[in-house]
């Protein structure tokens, strides 16, 4: 996944389902944002995962203003590093 995270205090989370408490999620980026250039993120999914959720989270809007993210691409690959969907 390639994403630009532009707002200090915001977070990019990988969650197993949409109802997960954010503490059950894996933090991919944030809350410190020192560089607003696009970042390529690579992360493994559990073998048994049939779905996952990317959550763009920001609870610091009072201090830092509205959050701004840009998702450039999402590329899901198989364990052999080939495309999952061709």
4 falls in which pLDDT band (50, 70, 90)? very high
Give, as one character, the DSSP assignment of residue 80. T
- Residue 78 within a domain: no
30, 65 contact by CB (below 8 A): no
44, 53 contact by CB (below 8 A): no
CA dihedral over 22, 28, 33, 39, signed as positive or negative: negative
pLDDT, residue 52, reads 87
- Residue 83 within a domain: no
* Residues of the domain holding 22: 2-73
pLDDT of 3 over the 90 cut: yes
- Residue 25 within a domain: yes
Per-residue pLDDT tens over the stretch 14-70: 988 777 777 889 999 988 888 889 999 888 887 777 888 999 888 888 888 888 899
- Residue 82 within a domain: no
Which of 74, 52, 85 has the alpha carbon at shortest distance from 2?
74
Report the number of distinct structural domains present in the chain: 1
**Weakest mean pLDDT among 2-6, 50-54, 75-79:** 75-79
9, 66 contact by CB (below 8 A): no
């Amino acid at each position: 996944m390639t994403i630009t995270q532009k707002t200090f205090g915001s977070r990019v989370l990988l969650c197993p389902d949409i109802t997960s408490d954010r503490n059950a999620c894996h933090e991919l980026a944030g809350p410190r944002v020192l560089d607003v250039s696009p970042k390529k993120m690579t992360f493994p999914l559990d073998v048994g995962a049939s779905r996952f959720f990317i959550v763009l989270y920001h609870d610091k809007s009072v201090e830092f203003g509205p959050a701004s993210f840009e998702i450039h691409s999402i590329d899901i690959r198989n364990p052999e590093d080939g495309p999952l969907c061709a």
